A and B are shown apart, each in its own frame.
Chain A
Amino acid sequence: MVSVEFVLYVASFAALFATAAVGAYGVLAKRNVVKKIIALTILGDTVNTVAILVGFRVSGRVAPPVLPTLKPSKEVLESFASTAVDPIPQALVITAIVINLAVTAFLLFLAVRAYALYGTLDYDEILRLRRGEGP
């Protein structure tokens, strides 16, 4: 018998992958550089959420990966290890978010420079100007 939690789990994965598809489409198909960058942040944040979801416990009791006491007994430790969600994807994601932000800032700076140089943010237009074909 498939539980409600399992169905919701699969549904959230499906929703996240649909969002990732929107992000991938934006990166590939949009001509405006700023829109490309926005789509890239959507894609990155979606992938981060997928990583967190992979470490989730679907059935049974679920707790955050923080021990609630500084003087744990052996029973508390054992129940902590058998209810808390996986901490490793969360640790991966917390750095990935900040790196994502920094890389986005870098890309935006590149976009600002491109706008200063070519006077446009249209990717095809920039390529055409680079080839020296003129506007």
Chain B
Amino acid sequence: MSKALYAILALIACAASVALVVLGVFGSPETLGSIRELGRFVLLSTFNVFSKRWWAGSPEAVTAVLWDYRGIDTVFETTVLYAAIAGCVALGYAGLRKPASEGRKEGRGLGEGLTLVVRAATKILFALILITSLNVALHGYITPGGGFAGGSTFAIAPLLIIAAYSTNAMVRRGFSFLRSSALRSAGLVGLALVVLTPLLYYGFVLQNQAKPGSPFPGYPAFLGPLFLGGSLIYLNLAEFLVVGMEFIMVFILFHVLDRVLGGGGHGER
């Protein structure tokens, strides 16, 4: 088919979507100041210290929805993430073994890395990214952020090292493929433990705070003066490990594949 036909098809789809949204989502201009009832329910109950029947123990409504009200969905999204990365590993593994041994002989490996200025800046940025991503992940239950955002932020750090130094420099500093894979698995196991622990008390899967109909008392929201946010902090930390390490695995694989194909960073053969 010709490109013009494709353009017309895309425009028709665009116009139809606009019409649907204008008819269905907008409503009248008067109702636009309010949100849907479900959203209002979540906002009202997420940190309702007066009526704790449906509360999630987190003042951050997005994290509360993510890991409490809609937690099963997030667990399965983690499964989708796992499956996609497993697919990448399966596709890339054929090219993984050979250059790993070749690379060690070469010292710093293909590409001598970038200039001294870039490398010095990378060192500083690496520490900053590490602190920022941990901060985003660990404070995900009181401020915007969480495991997904923190893990994605952290994954940038090894990417910088690959660009400024080389994959081997990164492997020498401890970010090897197998080690990140092991840490990813540790994150998954931690996630499963937090998700399944309430079952030991005959509670619900993924239960965070005490709920009607469940004998599980809920994860502690406060520990003395510390605010912990129930299970959300553990789930965020586990998800941080899973997401961050899975992306590191993918970046290492990409770099190795690039060398196997003979590109050495140039792409075309």
Tell which of B21, B149, B246, B261 touches A94, judged by Cβ atoms closer than 8 Å. Answer: B149
Contacts of A40 in B (CB 8 A): none
Q: Please, how many angstroms separate the alpha-carbon atoms of A6 and B29 in the complex?
A: 7
Q: Is the CB of A28 within 8 A of B9?
A: yes
How many residues on A have C-beta within 8 angstroms of the other chain's C-beta atoms? 63
Question: What's the nearest-Cβ distance from chain B to residue A20, in Å?
Answer: 6
Question: What's the nearest-Cβ distance from chain A to residue B62, in Å?
Answer: 5
Q: Is the CB of B10 within 8 A of A21?
A: yes
Tell which of A28, A50, A65, A102 touches B43, judged by Cβ atoms closer than 8 Å. Answer: A65
Q: Mark A35-78, 1 if CB is under 8 A from B, else 0.
A: 00000000000000010001101111000111111111010011
Q: Please, how many angstroms separate the alpha-carbon atoms of A58 and B152 in the complex?
A: 30
Q: Is the CB of A13 within 8 A of B13?
A: no
Q: Is the CB of B144 within 8 A of A64?
A: yes
Tell which of B92, B144, B227, B254 touches A70, judged by Cβ atoms closer than 8 Å. Answer: B227
The DSSP consensus for interface residues of chain B is: helix
Most chain A Cβ neighbours within 10 Å, of B22, B32, B43: B43
Q: Is the CB of A88 within 8 A of B81?
A: no
Q: Is the CB of B6 within 8 A of A25?
A: yes
Which of B33-41, B173-181, B192-200 is near enough to bind chain A? B33-41
Q: Is the CB of A20 within 8 A of B85?
A: no
Q: Is the CB of B148 within 8 A of A88?
A: no
Q: Is the CB of A88 within 8 A of B3?
A: no
Tell which of A6, A13, A78, A109 touches B88, judged by Cβ atoms closer than 8 Å. Answer: A109
Q: Is the CB of B21 within 8 A of A13?
A: yes
Residue of A nearest to B84 (CB): A102
Tell which of A67, A91, A113 touches B91, judged by Cβ atoms closer than 8 Å. Answer: A113
What are 22 A-B pairs with beta-carbon distances under 8 A? A10-B26, A13-B21, A50-B21, A57-B34, A66-B144, A67-B60, A70-B142, A70-B227, A77-B44, A77-B48, A81-B40, A86-B35, A86-B36, A87-B43, A95-B73, A97-B148, A106-B85, A108-B254, A109-B254, A109-B257, A113-B91, A119-B269
